[in-house]
Homo-oligomer: A and B are copies of this chain.
Amino acid sequence: MEKRIRIKDIAERAGVSTGTVDRVIHQRGNVSPEVADRVMQVMRELNYEPNIIASTLAYNRKLPVGVLLPDYDSDPYWALPNLGLKRAFQNVRHYGIVLDTHLFGLFDPAAFLAKAHELLDAPEPPVAILFAPIFLRESIWLMEQCRTRGIASVLINTDMDDPDALCYVGQDSYQSGVLAGKLLSIGMGPDDQVLVLNLDKETTNAKHLWDKERGLRDYFLRLKGPAVASVIRYDCEFFEDQDALRDAMLQLFRENPQLSRIFVTNSRSYFVLDALNRVSLRHFRTVGFDLLPQNMTYLEQGTISFLINQNPVEQGYLALMNIANHFIYKKPVKRMQYLPLDIVVPENARYYLQREKDLELVY
């Protein structure tokens, strides 16, 4: 059980004071090259690893972190990343991290911008911002602000093509489409048709939805079957109107009698199934996303065959922990952090749900 090496030990061994060692460690200059070399040599010899505990105590600093996410009223999904965020916060607040959370309407770019301003112009400006780049133009602007102000940025749920982001935490959209293809293909006949159903506003701007569709199509292409031609897409912006959605679906069924597979590209599967409440869906197989209570009911019934879990809680958790790793532990942070695409059936659902519930207990 070897004793831990302290700055003092290094100082003694190198024949200098602790202040000098400190200057070397933090590259604060004012140390002659010879001395610096000697100190570094000793550090390597003794395999020095700083005591983070003592370090954070002495720093006595605040690390304000801005959070910018959709509110839960827009979409129950977004309560989950927030939950993970809170959990992570419990772990790292001792290190001085302070959250400044702002929520915006999921379909309201102006609110996004307004909240972003609030964040940036806070009395204690954040050292990092954690946000969901839902709106492309506004997000590019925010990234630019981060760049000029020297603020680190962590992207969650949706990625952006910006090399200056500290990291992205979320799913691999393309591959989730591939996986959906795999799950839908089980027991599929050669003439069956697959429907890709986008229930969202402004789907034209939603790159991740396109990626999912591409993944699904590529999966069937690789199967080399005639199924290739039979993937159709339907974008529905009026998904909140139950009657309209039902009519639209029924028309789709009529026009495509071989339709037997539905892939809902986000967490809103339950909207379709609510709308089709009375319609017999026995011969349909549906795959959707996320373990929302509304979806779970249909999964238990068998109306949804599989749900793909995007680990929303872990997304929030990881996102903040990455900031901690960067600023406190000074560990390198991986740019792309894909969370597993969990295949959820009634038989294994409880464990994923339990994991989410356990987090509530902590808070």
Chain A contacts to B: CB under 8 angstroms: 1, 51-54, 56-57, 62, 64, 91, 94-95, 98, 124, 172, 175, 178-179, 181-182, 186-187, 219, 318, 321-322, 325, 331, 333-334, 337-343, 345, 347-348, 350-352, 354-355, 358, 360-363
Contacts and interface: CB of A to CB of B under 8 A. Distances in A.
Nearest to A2: B98
B1 A98 contact: yes
Nearest to A354: B338
Contact of A51 (B51, B94, B322, B341): B94
Contact of A355 (B1, B172, B325, B340): B340
Contacts of A338: 351, 354
A216 to B, nearest CB: 11
A347 B124 contact: no
A184 to B, nearest CB: 12
A321 B321 CA distance: 15
17 contacts: A1-B62, A52-B94, A53-B53, A53-B57, A57-B57, A91-B363, A172-B351, A175-B347, A179-B345, A182-B347, A321-B361, A331-B361, A333-B361, A334-B361, A338-B354, A340-B352, A341-B348
Copies in the complex: 2
Contacts of A333: 361
A341 B334 contact: no
Given A53-B53, A57-B54, A348 B340 contact: yes
A14 to B, nearest CB: 24
Kindly name the residue among A181, A347, A352 whose own CB sees the greatest number of chain B CB atoms within 10 A.
Answer: A347
A310 to B, nearest CB: 11
Contacts of A91: 363
Given A321-B362, A351-B339, A362-B321, A94 B175 contact: no
Contact of A362 (B51, B124, B331): B331
A155 B21 CA distance: 43
Given A340-B352, A340-B355, 9 more contacts: A53-B95, A175-B348, A178-B347, A219-B347, A318-B362, A322-B361, A325-B361, A337-B361, A342-B342
Contacts of A64: 1
A361 B318 CA distance: 8
Nearest to A339: B351
A178 B348 CA distance: 9
Nearest to A56: B53
Given A318-B362, A347-B175, A347-B182, A340 B337 contact: no
